[in-house]
Amino acid sequence: MVPRQEISAWRPQVAGVVEVFHAHFAEHAYPMHVHDVWTLLIVDDGAVRYDLDRHERATPSDTVSLLPPQVPHNGSPATSQGFRKRVLYLDMTQLDESFIGPAVDGPDLTDPVLRRRIGQLHTALANRGDEFEAESRLAMISERLREHLRPRLLGRARPDRGVAHRLRDLLDERLLEGIPLDEAARMVHAHPTHLIRAFSGAFGIAPHQYVVSRRVDVARRLLLDGRPPGEVATATGFYDQSHLTRHFKRVVGITPGLYARARAVN
């Protein structure tokens, strides 16, 4: 019987790479969520369909997808066989926030050279002792991504940081301890319902969904650092381990315990 899912994840000792994540999902559908880092994705088998900035897109096996931080997206299998993917989560030292807009405009890149280099980087990251090679390959990949995105920077206006952006800044600032909606509304000077509508309209995700997905991101990193799920739950703003487990499985596709054990492969 073909397994319905396979996972491996680890944090390499390579500056700029927050996490490496390999997965095979036959059925799992990611809900709308966000990351605070760049998602560099290649699909080895099958295809993924996803929504980004209210546009439906798909990632077949011959493309590279670059999903920007702070922009909600989801994902689900585009074929009955599911998909097998390899993901690098890259921090803002590789691409700064000025490239977010251009990446939203065109997240899928048909570039065989870039794809081959990403595959080579994954191989280097999987082998202890090859960190210098991985750093070199990452530098070349980041440069090529900037070459793709830089022409789109021309003519882009800076976004107006209105109510929705002020709320997002506040949610980021109070991510782990949380903030009541009424208090957030007072601080942003807007009615609570207007705040929710403005945020959802601007970013395509409700404020509570944004907070949960950001907390799950933090939990992933702590789990890969070897901290137990119960401790991670309280450290990331969840009520208890079962609360973390429910949301973690919905976003990532497996439980925190299985995710933590997946790191043992590296």
The answer to the question of residue 121 being in a domain is yes
Share of residues in the chain with pLDDT > 70 (%): 94
| Last residue of one domain, picked from the residues 94, 128, 153 | 153
pLDDT score recorded for residue 154: 67
Q: Which domain does 46 fall in, by range? A: 5-153
Three-state DSSP at 263 gives helix
pLDDT score recorded for residue 214: 96
Flag whether pLDDT at 1 surpasses 50.
no
| Last residue of one domain, picked from the residues 153, 171, 203 | 153
Are both 188 and 138 inside the same structural domain?
no
**Whole-model pTM?**
0.86
Dist CA 28 CA 155 (whole Å): 39
Are both 115 and 231 inside the same structural domain?
no
The answer to the question of residue 196 being in a domain is yes
Are both 204 and 80 inside the same structural domain?
no
Are both 90 and 22 inside the same structural domain?
yes
Residue pLDDT, tens place only, 17-70: 999 999 998 888 899 999 999 999 999 998 899 999 888 888 877 899 999 999
Residue pLDDT, tens place only, 129-173: 899 999 999 999 999 999 999 877 765 555 556 899 999 999 999
Are both 137 and 53 inside the same structural domain?
yes
DSSP-assigned letter for residue 162: -
- DSSP letters spanning 211-232: HHHHHHHHHHHHHHTT--HHHH
The answer to the question of residue 158 being in a domain is no
Are both 33 and 120 inside the same structural domain?
yes
Q: Counting Cβ atoms within 10 Å, is residue 206 exposed (0-12), middle (13-18) or buried (19+)?
A: middle
Are both 65 and 189 inside the same structural domain?
no
Dist CA 256 CA 266 (whole Å): 17
Are both 167 and 149 inside the same structural domain?
no
Are both 106 and 28 inside the same structural domain?
yes
Are both 149 and 169 inside the same structural domain?
no
pLDDT score recorded for residue 58: 82
CB-based contacts of 192: which residues, under 8 Å, 6+ apart?
181, 182, 184, 185
Are both 65 and 191 inside the same structural domain?
no
Number of separate domains in the chain: 2
> What's the CATH code of the domain at 251?
1.10.10.60
